[in-house]
A and B are shown apart, each in its own frame.
Chain A
């Protein structure tokens, strides 16, 4: 009976011990993935910003500029790309819609971002674009990989269509979460005019015809929760200028937009709550379950060995039985 129990315990111990690495290195990359059908909106605001008045072509102070950023997972496109990519893929169709204080559109830039659902590496496929222009992204955008490390990452900048490092700037606590701070500075760079201009009748081609060019510079900062790789807060010191050409009436440059863009408070609270929930799920796969099963496996193994040792222990001599008297034959 003891031997059977020790064998059952041994099987359980091996099962638990094997589960620990299998969960961490086999199940985790297959289960921790960005859902392909995710739909997410984010609102950012720049208070007391500077915005170009296209009527007068002069910069003016405005109380608020709002940026609405939507990310929509395109499941059908992801499935189609997965067939050739041979790995789980997420396709995000996004729109950055900028709205002035009067509610009118300032700019809108659509993007298609295709990436590996677990590792966050960009996947290159037809349709990858920024504002209708085909691009080939290197590095990450919007989200960091699961189990983010304290190092610099390559980050894609949609305005310049280039990738440059986003630097790790330290660790801090943000609303009860440990976060890594990342910062990227994009120096003044000549960028394309958005395909959709705020004034009807003006197109990027007509602006280009005047010789006026658009320049952009930004400092972007993200507070990233390292287990999920999700930014819980982001801000950008964003500046845009129009330079040269006949459109500016002899001036060398005019500010098209300047502002300190920050996430709106209700969206910060929502994102933090969501990330806290998802963080627990990721930790269950990477830490709680593997450590728990390993912690259970070792005592089970010890118990099994103990039972086995007791079953093998030699027993003492059996008590002597009184001898029966031999039959006497007469």
Chain B
């Protein structure tokens, strides 16, 4: 019984960890103020 509880705790921990990481996601940021280019840039 104690082994089962330990395994369930481990599983719950894994789910919590992955859910937390996924919830952080990627920052969506803001639209760049840079214009669409109509000149040839020198370097990237």
Contacts and interface: CB of A to CB of B under 8 A. Distances in A.
B41 A43 contact: yes
A74 interface: yes
A29 to B, nearest CB: 9
Given A11-B9, A14-B11, A110-B36, A75 B30 contact: yes
Interface in B1-44: 2-3, 6-7, 9-11, 13-15, 17-18, 21-22, 25-32, 34, 36-41, 43-44
B30 to A, nearest CB: 6
B17 A75 contact: no
A68 B38 CA distance: 7
Interface of A: 3, 7-8, 10-16, 18-19, 22-23, 26-27, 30-31, 33, 35-37, 39, 41, 43, 66, 68, 70, 72-76, 78-79, 93-95, 97, 99, 105, 108, 110, 266-267, 270-271, 308
B33 to A, nearest CB: 9
A15 B14 contact: yes
B39 A68 contact: yes
A58 B35 CA distance: 34
B26 A35 contact: yes
Nearest to A79: B28
Given A13-B10, A15-B13, A31-B26, A68 B32 contact: no
Contacts of A3: 2
A93 B37 CA distance: 12
A73 B9 CA distance: 42
Contact of A72 (B11, B21, B31, B44): B31
30 contacts: A7-B6, A10-B3, A10-B6, A10-B7, A11-B6, A11-B9, A12-B10, A14-B6, A15-B10, A15-B11, A19-B14, A19-B17, A31-B22, A31-B26, A35-B26, A37-B31, A66-B40, A68-B37, A68-B38, A68-B41, A72-B31, A72-B32, A72-B36, A74-B31, A75-B28, A75-B29, A76-B31, A99-B40, A266-B43, A270-B43
A71 to B, nearest CB: 9
Instruction: Give the most central of B26, B36, B37: most A CB within 10 Å.
Output: B36
A75 B13 CA distance: 34
Contacts of B26: 31, 33, 35
A3 B1 CA distance: 13
Contacts of A36: 28-29
Given A19-B17, A66-B40, A108-B38, A39 B6 contact: no
B25 A75 contact: no
Contacts of A10: 3, 6-7, 10
A75 B31 contact: yes
A95 B38 CA distance: 8
B22 A26 contact: yes
Contact of B22 (A27, A39, A110): A27
A270 to B, nearest CB: 4
Contact of A22 (B10, B15, B34, B37): B15
A43 B40 contact: yes
Given A37-B29, A108-B38, A18 B44 contact: no
Contacts of A267: 44
Nearest to A108: B38
